[in-house]
Amino acid sequence: MEDVDRIRQLYQETGSYRKVADIMGISRNTVTKYLNRIEDCQNGNAEEILPTTRNLQRTKSALSDDVVNKIHTYLEENQKRPKKQRLNAHQIYLILRYNGTEISYSTVKREVRKWKQNNVFKDICIGQDYESGYRA
């Protein structure tokens, strides 16, 4: 709310949206939006200067425990397969869709990424220092 008061004060002093935006370090569109909201509140068209946050009702993700277990099963089987025969995220997605699971590719990708971060070892390089005159 302090920012809105400061925007109003600077606009009364300078009379320019652009100067207010430069001084505050914000977009001219933001300055215009807040000044229009202030004017609407003074005219009685709006109740609040700062709009309240919207509560969005998100639908439940198709990622149930059963689907997660299937994805993890495919990934664990991948560990036993040769490198060229392993399933990637897109292939796992296609298998799940073929079996009738309604799920998006990005959801499968996200779950595969989480699994890999927790279960795949990363290569670690240890820097070695040799005394001068010795070769590695």
For 6-32, the pLDDT digits (tens) are 888 888 888 888 988 888 888 889 888
90 in a structural domain: yes
More confident residue, 134 or 112: 112
pLDDT digit string (tens) for 42-67?
Answer: 777 766 666 666 666 766 677 888 99
Residue 129 lies in a domain: no
Q: What is the mean pLDDT of residues 93-98?
A: 96
Q: Looking at the predicted structure, is the pLDDT value of residue 3 above 90?
A: no
Whether 35 and 69 share a structural domain: no
Any domain includes 27: yes
Q: How many CB atoms lie within 10 A of CB 96?
A: 20
Asked whether residue 70 falls in the same domain as residue 115, the answer is yes
Q: What range defines the domain where residue 83 resides?
A: 65-119
Domain total in the chain: 2
Spatial distance between the Cα atoms of 102 and 66, rounded to a whole number of angstroms: 12
Looking at per-residue pLDDT, the higher value among 6 and 69 belongs to 69
Of 60, 55, 3, nearest to 34 by C-alpha is 3
Domain assignment of residue 131, yes or no = no
Task: Report yes or no on 135 lying in a domain.
Answer: no
pTM metric for this prediction:
0.50
Residue 60 confidence (pLDDT): 65
List the one residue out of 63, 58, 59 whose CA is nearest residue 106.
63
At 92 the pLDDT is 96
Same domain flag for 33 and 71: no
Residue 14 lies in a domain: yes
Same domain, 72 and 114: yes
13 is a domain residue = yes
How much is the pLDDT for 24?
A: 86
**Residue 74 and residue 111 share a domain:** yes
Together in a domain, 69 and 113? yes
| CA-to-CA separations, 122 to 17, 76, 82, in angstroms, rounded | 52, 17, 18
Neighbouring C-alpha atoms within 13 Å toward the C-beta of 122 = 6
